[in-house]
Chain A
Amino acid sequence: ETGVTQTPRHLVMGMTNKKSLKCEQHLGHNAMYWYKQSAKKPLELMFVYNFKEQTENNSVPSRFSPECPNSSHLFLHLHTLQPEDSALYLCASSQAFGEANYGYTFGSGTRLTVV
């Protein structure tokens, strides 16, 4: 058990579909993140939530819509995606403030394929 659980593990969706990715952590962390991992590129930060409030949207297209109902859960709602959105989507959590920052705890990601 990693501490951060992502579902589903794999997702294939058409460009007209609507789907959601889910992330859950019970580590007592209060910051959660969505990253996009594409081959041969650095991880791209998409969204940051701190104490359930979105504090960063890194110029992400509106076809990606995050939701953070509480500090333990994070969703990424997807609609009308493009084939170039195919990637591994990683969720992470951490302590938001203070010296107790030992890095992120990551989930195992959702491998998204847009057809």
Chain B
Amino acid sequence: AQSVTQPDIHITVSEGASLELRCNYSYGATPYLFWYVQSPGQGLQLLLKYFSGDTLVQGIKGFEAEFKRSQSSFNLRKPSVHWSDAAEYFCAVVPMNSGGYQKVTFGTGTKLQVIP
């Protein structure tokens, strides 16, 4: 079955430490890939996206993500976390060649806590 998985429900990191949030997908062909961030009580903000080409994608707020076809992964990284990065992070996919409407499917999310 087609799916997108975020294995970590909750992650705690110290301010200034590096961060990696995992995302794995299971689709017949490589889907289009996105990372969104949602602060408490807020809407979703797009951090970055991958459609094709360079497998290392740069986004806003110092985030980057690397697409690895062999591992069906699209992990989000940041070298040094700031307290303001505390939020919920969603990986999302749109299947390629989905026909009809291009439906966005979200992973279950990873809640990031940043400690001083």
- Bound pair (A, B): no
Q: Which residues of B contact A (CB under 8 A)?
A: none
